[in-house]
Amino acid sequence: MQKRTLGAHGPQVSIVGLGANNFGGRTDAATSERVIAKAIDCGITLIDTSDNYGNRGGSETILGNALGARRNDVVLATKFGLPMDDSGSKRGASRRYAMQAVEASLRRLRTDWIDLYQVHFPDSRTPIEETLRALDDLVKAGKVRFIGCSNFSAAQLREALGVSEHARIASFVTCQDQYNLLDRGLEKDRLPIMRGHGLGLLPYFPLASGLLTGKYKEDAAPPAGTRFAGATPRGNDTFMNARNWRLVHELSDFATERGHSLLELAIGWLVSQPFIPSVIAGATRPEQIEQNIAAAGWALTAADLAAIDRITL
């Protein structure tokens, strides 16, 4: 599988990654382990999780149990900052908590180091310099190789990069943000900052929670067992709204006219963006791994990309 550099200075990773947000939640341990094994067998080298996934620690625990001797075969990314208890004491990006959170993640993941450690959400209660100096110490200690952020605004990202540059400490190499054919909002503000500083974009919800797979139909109830099946109508409105359904229909027609599926278009379009080192796609069954990898094989032309822009922008 094709590989790209994780940001300007990070390691090489496969252009298709594995998102572990379902492990320990929608996907039980046995199925998760089969998905992980399939991903590695197929050449996926980037696995992304969070300490919060899988009911607070379940995803990391499953990964730690599943990887074993294959730990060296993957670039392991995780995040910290979301609540890990009901009291609210285990959360945020303070130095004190970052040091606790990394040790807990290392134990669950059964590893001595984390390849990419990401701040899951900005912490308004903690100065970003405090967070970055803590992460820099973790890098120097060898417990973390590279650092990244997720869900930062343009102003927050600019401030963080400025602090790292001024203090000459570890700097973010990636940003993980929502980005897909239905949501291109970051192109207006955050993307120019990322590209100017050589940061890679790791898009989450690359398939718009499944809306870009073709499995949902506008006039039909969500299939049982899918992400939207148990959600409230208000919760579904984030993706299932009139504007997005119009785009889904137009993009589906675009893909069909060229002999491809909507899934292939969604992933192929992301792979076509040079600032994206890897498309982190979730999977609840081993066969979805092969589908995601195959979808990345559609090489979109400049004319294709221009036509997609006319539909989505």
Task: Tell me the one-letter amino acid at 189.
Answer: D
DSSP string, 186-199: GGTTHHHHHHHTTP
Identify the residue whose tokens are 């320990």: 24
Q: Is 117 a catalytic residue?
A: no
Nearest by Cα to 8 from 194, 192, 227, 179: 194
Q: Name 175's bridge partners.
A: 149, 201
Task: Tell me the one-letter amino acid at 63.
Answer: L
71-81: buried (b, 16+ CB within 10 Å) or exposed (e) per residue?
Answer: beebbbbbbbb
CA pair distance 6, 9, nearest whole angstrom: 7
Instruction: Give the catalytic positions in this structure.
Output: 53
